[in-house]
Structure 1
Amino acid sequence: MVRLLNVYTISSFVSLAGLLYGFDIASVSGIVATEQYKEYYGNPLGIRQGAITGAIAAGSLAGALRSSFLVTIQLGAVLWCIGVSLQSSSTGVAMLVIGRIFAGLCIGITTVLVPVYQCEIAPRRIRGRIVALQHFGFAWGILIQYFIQYGCSFLNSQAVFRLPWAIQAIPGILLFMGLFWLPQSPRWLASKNRWDEVLKVLAFLRTPDCDTNDPLVLAEYKEIEEQAREHDEKWNTYRELFGKKLRKRLFIAMAVQGWSQLGGVTVMLYGIILAFESAGISNPRLATSIFYIIFIVATIPTILWTDHWGRRSSLLVGSLSLAFWFCISGGLFMRFGEPNPDLDQPYTWIIVDQPIVSRCIQASLYLISASFAMSWGPIEWLYPPEIIPLHVRCKAVSLSTSTHYGINLGWALSVLSVWQKIRWGLFFISAAIYLAACIHVWLQIPETKQRTLEEMDEIFEHGDQLWRSFTGATYSGRLDLLAKDFEQGEVNIHPGRRHDMGRPAVSQTLFDGTAG
Structure 2
Amino acid sequence: MAGGPSGTAEGVSNASLAWAVIMSAFAAFGGILFGYDTGTIGGVIAMQDWLNVFGQFDPTHVLGKDTNGMYLQTSDKSLVVSILSAGTFFGALLAFPMGQYVGRKWGIVASCVVFALGVGLQLDTKWTTFVVGRVIAGLGVGLVSCLVPMYQSECSPKNIRGLIVGLYQLAITIGALLAAIVLNSTKGENSHSAWRTPIAVQFAWAGILGGGMMLLPESPRYLLQRGHVDKARRALARLTNRPADSAEVDAECTEITLALEEERAIGSGSYADCFKNTELRSGLRTWTGIMLQGWQQLTGINFIFYYGTTFFTSAGIKNPFIITIIADVVNTVMTIVGINMIDRVGRRRLLLIGAVGMMVCEYIVAIVGVTAGHIAADGSVNIDAQRVLIAFVCFYIAFFATSWGPVAWVVTGEIFPLNIRAKGMSLSVASNWLWNFGIGYATPYLVDVSTKGQPNGVATAGLGVKVFFIWGSTCLGCLVFTYFFIPETKGLSLEQIDLLYKESSIINSNKYRKQMIAQNETFVHHDKVTASHDESSVDRAEKA
> What range is the shorter-chain TM-score in?
0.7 to 0.9
Compared CA separation, residues 369 and 412, structure 1 to 2 (3 A): same
Cα distance in 1 for partners of 2:303, 2:374 equals: 24
Compared CA separation, residues 242 and 40, structure 1 to 2 (3 A): same
> How far 1:116 moved relative to its partner?
2.7
Mean CA deviation greater in 95-104 or 6-15: 6-15
Cα distance in 2 for partners of 1:471, 1:352 equals: 55
1:330 maps to 2:366 = yes
Matches within 5 A, 1:66-465: 66-70=94-98, 72-88=107-123, 90-193=124-227, 213=247, 222=255, 225-226=258-259, 228-232=261-265, 234-245=267-278, 246-338=282-374, 352-420=380-448, 421-462=462-503, 464-465=504-505
- Rg bigger for which structure? 2
> How far 1:7 moved relative to its partner?
2.6
Residues 191, 228 of structure 1: 8 Å contact kept? no
Compared CA separation, residues 145 and 258, structure 1 to 2 (3 A): same
Cα distance in 2 for partners of 1:166, 1:262 equals: 30
Compared CA separation, residues 302 and 167, structure 1 to 2 (3 A): same
User: Which one of 27, 39, 45 corresponds to residue 32 of structure 1?
Assistant: 45
3-state DSSP class of the match of 1:424? helix
- CA RMSD after TM alignment: 3.0
Residues 228, 391 of structure 1: 8 Å contact kept? no
Cα distance in 2 for partners of 1:203, 1:310 equals: 35
| Alignment correspondent of 1:490 | none
- Give 1:446's aligned amino acid: P
> How far 1:214 moved relative to its partner?
6.0
Listed one character per residue, the Cα deviations across residues 261-312 of structure 1 (whole Å, up to 9, x for unaligned) are: 0122123211111222233323222111111111110011123232222211
Cα distance in 2 for partners of 1:416, 1:341 equals: 23
Residues 266, 419 of structure 2: 8 Å contact kept? no
Cα distance in 2 for partners of 1:219, 1:307 equals: 26
- Give 2:162's aligned amino acid: G
> How far 1:35 moved relative to its partner?
1.1
User: Which one of 57, 62, 65 corresponds to residue 90 of structure 2?
Assistant: 62
Unaligned runs of 5+ in 2: 1-14, 56-70, 100-106, 449-461, 526-544
Compared CA separation, residues 195 and 437, structure 1 to 2 (3 A): farther
Mean CA deviation greater in 286-295 or 109-118: 109-118
Cα distance in 1 for partners of 2:227, 2:513 equals: 32
Compared CA separation, residues 329 and 229, structure 1 to 2 (3 A): same
Listed one character per residue, the Cα deviations across residues 426-450 of structure 1 (whole Å, up to 9, x for unaligned) are: 2111111111211221122112233
> How far 1:184 moved relative to its partner?
3.6
Cα distance in 2 for partners of 1:376, 1:285 equals: 25
* Identity, % of aligned positions: 28
> How far 1:122 moved relative to its partner?
4.1
Cα distance in 2 for partners of 1:272, 1:352 equals: 21
Cα distance in 1 for partners of 2:225, 2:417 equals: 11
Unaligned runs of 5+ in 1: 343-350, 483-516
Compared CA separation, residues 469 and 165, structure 1 to 2 (3 A): closer
Cα distance in 2 for partners of 1:5, 1:211 equals: 23
| Alignment correspondent of 2:532 | none
Cα distance in 1 for partners of 2:340, 2:88 equals: 29
Report the number of matched residues: 470
Cα distance in 1 for partners of 2:239, 2:521 equals: 20
- Give 1:429's aligned amino acid: I
Listed one character per residue, the Cα deviations across residues 17-72 of structure 1 (whole Å, up to 9, x for unaligned) are: 10110111122122222211111102323111110001110110110111111351
Compared CA separation, residues 149 and 284, structure 1 to 2 (3 A): same
| Alignment correspondent of 2:508 | 468
| Alignment correspondent of 1:492 | none
Residues 126, 307 of structure 1: 8 Å contact kept? no
User: Which one of 30, 41, 53 corresponds to residue 17 of structure 1?
Assistant: 30
| Alignment correspondent of 2:7 | none
> How far 1:220 moved relative to its partner?
10
Compared CA separation, residues 336 and 471, structure 1 to 2 (3 A): farther
Listed one character per residue, the Cα deviations across residues 396-447 of structure 1 (whole Å, up to 9, x for unaligned) are: 1111111111111111111011013233332111111111211221122112
> How far 1:372 moved relative to its partner?
1.0
Residues 263, 418 of structure 2: 8 Å contact kept? no
> How far 1:118 moved relative to its partner?
3.0
> How far 1:200 moved relative to its partner?
7.2
- Give 1:316's aligned amino acid: L
Cα distance in 2 for partners of 1:451, 1:155 equals: 53
- Give 1:48's aligned amino acid: D
Mean CA deviation greater in 195-204 or 256-265: 195-204
Residues 34, 153 of structure 1: 8 Å contact kept? yes
